[in-house]
Structure formats: C-alpha cells, structure tokens
Amino acid sequence: MAKTKLVVNEVYKIFGPRPQEAYDLIEQGKSKDEIFEETGMTVGVQDASFEVYEGEVFVVMGLSGSGKSTMVRMLNRLIEPTFGKIEIDGHDIVKMSKEELIQLRRREMAMVFQSFALMPHQTVIDNAAFGLEVAGVDRETRYERALKSLDAVGLKANAHSYPDELSGGMKQRVGLARALSNDPSIMLMDEAFSALDPLIRTEMQDELLRLQSESQRTVIFITHDLDEAMRIGDRIAVMEDGRIVQIGTPEEIVTKPADEYVSSFFKGVDVTQVFTAGDIARKQQLTVIERPGSDLNSAIQAMRGKDRDVAIVLDKHQHYEGMVSASSLAEAKNGDGKIQSAFLKDVEPVTGDMGLSDVLHQVANSAYPIPVLDGNKKYIGAISKTALLQTLDRAS
C-alpha cells in the first residue's frame, strides 16, 4: 500500500460556546438533534478518523448537512477543529501557528470550490496565478506557471479573458488551474463539479482523472453524488449526521453497505449498481413444463396459441431446463425430435443475485430474454429488453 499522506484522528467540530458540554453528551450517546435541543450547539463532525494515502482520490460523500464540507475545511483549518488531530506528512496541523499554517496552505494544499470563487476583477491568468501571487512569487515566474496549468486544463487561449466571459465549465477549469499552479501535494475539492450541468460534469471528472494519471496528487473530493463518487473515487467515506459511517472502495460500499443510510444512497441514483437481476425479472414468458412423454408438438401448440416466439422449458419442480424458440423447435422436429436439441445455445441463464450492471451487457446483446434462476436453479423469471429499459427509465 502507498504511503499515508494524511491522518485524521478522532476529530470533532462543535459549533457553540461550550464544546466540552456537547462532547460529554456525544459520549453519552446522544444524537446530534438531541444535543442541539438540549444545548443549542451544533455538532458538525463527530469522531472522524480516517487515513488518506498518497496519490489516491479519497471521496467524502454525504447529504447536505452531513458535515462533509465542515470536514474538508478542517483539513486546511478554514474551520478550526474543536478536538482531535490532523496530521499531514506526520505534522499535526491543528497545533500549527498562524504563520506555519499560511506556509502550509501556500505550499502543500490547494482548494477548488463549488461556486468557483474566482476573482472577477482579475483576468484568467491572474486568477490562475493567485496562489503564487499571494506567496510572493515574481510576476514572470508565476505567469509562466499559471500558463502551464491553464494549458493543462485547455484554457491557454483564454488567459487574458475575464471570468465573466467564460462558461461555468470553463470557470471551474480556471479554478482547477489555480489549484494546480501551486503544485500542491493535496487538493481539496469541495463539491467542485456539483454546480455544472451533467455533461460538463462528466467531462470535468474525466479531466480530473486524466490530470491524476499524469501526476499523482492526493485528492480529497467532497460530493453528494454517488455516481460521481463511484467514477472518480479510489476510496469513499460516507458521512451521516457528522459521523463517518463507512469507508471503503466503491465496490465495497455498493456491495456491502454498512447501514440503511448508505444503501439509501443507491435509491434513484444508478439502478444498475443497485438492483439485482432477480429484482427486475418478470414471469411473463411462456413456460412449458417438460414431462416424460410430452413431445415437441405440445410446446409448438402452446406457443402458437399464445402467439409467442420463445418459451422457457422447466421440469415439474420448476427447475430451468432451457429456452426454445419457434424456429429452433421446427428444426428439432425435423431432426431427432427431442426438445433438448431445440434449446437455444446462446442463451445463458443468470442468477438472481447478480448485479444489474453485470447482466446489462448480456440482456442488451441477446436476441432473447435472459432467464433468471435462484441458487437452486429454480426459474425466477426473465429479463426482456423492454423490462430493462423500463427499469432504467424509471430511475432517471
């Protein structure tokens, strides 16, 4: 595993005049709302501990009010932590003097904001060079470096425009360039792409991933959007009411959500990550029970009668045998006359607990519905293209 870059250890943020009082109540197991009721103090973050490795994209995800923005602001002490330790490369930043802190912000960390927070009175290049200007870098050097970072985000040509002449996506590229100019080892991104429309947002996510592939920085990315978190995150921390409820890779978060809250994120977000094949399988296909002695003709009859092209063949215990189509049955009738030889070869059944995203490809590329079985090979239903499209449509 890579080197640890940042360690957050039992960090609390309590907004109010007597934090110790609120802390004691937290220790007693009182909830955020109860503490507010009793003392009027707001618990922003409680007992947050995590590590971020060098070069990884660490996503902090949560709904608004979950404390994620407070969390990220404590990492550069825009908000002072009430209790706890935050170490960057082994130095506790909570104990740093104001002077040390300013140096840390200038050298090690940069931040990208949701509303871009560009300086409207400065040109794009001056905005991109803002951090360097503040650090007292001479004009020639800082323009050179700012141009380089503007080039990296594809905005070199707009260097002498003003922010209000740019679109939202371009503005955030300037915000990104401003952060890159300082060549920070840690980038804090607070809902950086949330204000952009979906298409531009995806583009910016790709941009970030591309920049990451070029030079590995430690990125701490705040978002409320699961799709975004899954797309860019190496690891995800999920926050609820100021607590970190789960930390894990995107796969772990999706497959083993720690509680209701974490799994509730998946509702209405990206169904292919949430639903299993069993969830959307429907028993609308024609089923034919294969009994000893029954021949192809009864199956053909049944299909004609119901005007279907395909049928699922089951045994009398509802176990799946195979799928047949009208043409495969006709062929088999002319051949050996056995229903087994009419089974469609390119239809592979899936199990009900498979994720929808895993079967998506199969359903889309198959000419027939895909049968879904449970663990004991019992037929649950089938997923047709129509059913799949309806499910995806409902989600969006």
Partner 1 sequence: METIKALRIPIGDWVEAIVDFILINFQPLLDAIAAAIGFVSESFENTLLWIHPLILTALLVLLSLWRVGWRFAIFAAVSLFVIMGMNLWQETVSTMALVVAASFVALILGFPVGIAMAKSDTVEAVVRPILDFMQTMPPFVYLIPAAMFFGLGKVPGTIATVIFAMPPSVRLTNLGIRQVSHENVEAGLAFGCTDRQLLMKVQLPLALPSIMAGVNQTIMLALSMVVIASMIGAGGLGNTVLTGIQRLNIGLGFEGGLGVVIVAIMLDRITQSFGHIGQGESLFRRLMRTLRGHPAAGEEKGEEHARTT
Minimum separation from the CB atom of position 132 to partner 1 (A): 9
Minimum separation from the CB atom of position 358 to partner 1 (A): 41
Could you tell me if residue 55 is left (phi over 0), alpha (psi between -120 and 50 degrees) or otherwise beta?
left
Tell me how far apart the 2 most distant CA atoms of the chain are, in Å: 92
Minimum separation from the CB atom of position 202 to partner 1 (A): 23
Minimum separation from the CB atom of position 127 to partner 1 (A): 10
Which helix (H) or strand (E) covers residue 58, if one does?
strand 57-62
Does residue 78 touch partner 1 according to CB under 8 A? yes
Q: Pick the closer one to partner 1 by CB: 104 or 286.
A: 104
Q: What whole-number distance in Å separates Cα of residue 363 and Cα of residue 382?
A: 10
Amino acid letter, residue 317: H
Q: What whole-number distance in Å separates Cα of residue 139 and Cα of residue 129?
A: 9
Which two structure tokens, joined as six digits, stand for 322? Answer: 């195979």
Kindly give the residue spans of alpha helices, DSSP state H, lying in 307-339: 326-334
Q: Pick the closer one to partner 1 by CB: 218 or 384.
A: 218
Q: Pick the closer one to partner 1 by CB: 153 or 274.
A: 153
Does residue 245 touch partner 1 according to CB under 8 A? no
What character string, x for contact with partner 1 (CB under 8 A) and - otherwise, covers 143-172?
-----------------xxx-xx-------
Minimum separation from the CB atom of position 198 to partner 1 (A): 22
Minimum separation from the CB atom of position 67 to partner 1 (A): 17
* Of 265, 252, 283, residue with least CA distance to 352: 283
Q: Pick the closer one to partner 1 by CB: 10 or 100.
A: 100
Does residue 138 touch partner 1 according to CB under 8 A? no
Q: What whole-number distance in Å separates Cα of residue 83 and Cα of residue 68?
A: 17
Q: Pick the closer one to partner 1 by CB: 218 or 328.
A: 218
- Looking at 23, 130, 320, 368, which residue binds partner 1 (CB under 8 A)? 130
Tell me, by CB under 8 A, how many residues bind partner 1.
33
- Looking at 73, 145, 231, 333, which residue binds partner 1 (CB under 8 A)? 73
CB 380 within 8 A of CB 281: yes
Which two structure tokens, joined as six digits, stand for 112? Answer: 């990208």
Does residue 178 touch partner 1 according to CB under 8 A? yes
* Of 174, 73, 75, 63, residue with least CA distance to 115: 174
Q: Interface residues for partner 1 in 16-35 (CB under 8 A)?
A: none
Q: Pick the closer one to partner 1 by CB: 106 or 148.
A: 106
- Looking at 63, 135, 269, 392, which residue binds partner 1 (CB under 8 A)? 135
Q: What whole-number distance in Å separates Cα of residue 204 and Cα of residue 192?
A: 9
- Looking at 131, 233, 322, 371, which residue binds partner 1 (CB under 8 A)? 131
Minimum separation from the CB atom of position 46 to partner 1 (A): 23
Minimum separation from the CB atom of position 164 to partner 1 (A): 6
Q: Pick the closer one to partner 1 by CB: 223 or 273.
A: 223
Q: Which residues of 98-127 are buried (b: 16+ CB within 10 A; e: fewer)?
A: eeeeeebbbebbbbbbbebebeeeebbbbb
CB 53 within 8 A of CB 216: no
Does residue 195 touch partner 1 according to CB under 8 A? no
Which two structure tokens, joined as six digits, stand for 123? Answer: 């040109």
Q: Interface residues for partner 1 in 88-127 (CB under 8 A)?
A: 102-106, 109-111, 113-121
Please state, in angstroms and as integers, the Cα–Cα distance from residue 45 to each residue in 24, 242, 248, 394, following that order. Answer: 14, 4, 19, 35
CB 56 within 8 A of CB 235: yes
- Looking at 58, 61, 128, 133, which residue binds partner 1 (CB under 8 A)? 133
Q: Which among 3-11, 45-53, 72-80, 301-309 is the span making contact with partner 1, rule CB under 8 A?
A: 72-80
Q: Pick the closer one to partner 1 by CB: 168 or 355.
A: 168
* Of 348, 385, 359, residue with least CA distance to 277: 359
Binding site for partner 1 (CB under 8 A): 73, 76, 78, 102-106, 109-111, 113-121, 130-131, 133-135, 160-162, 164-165, 178, 182, 188
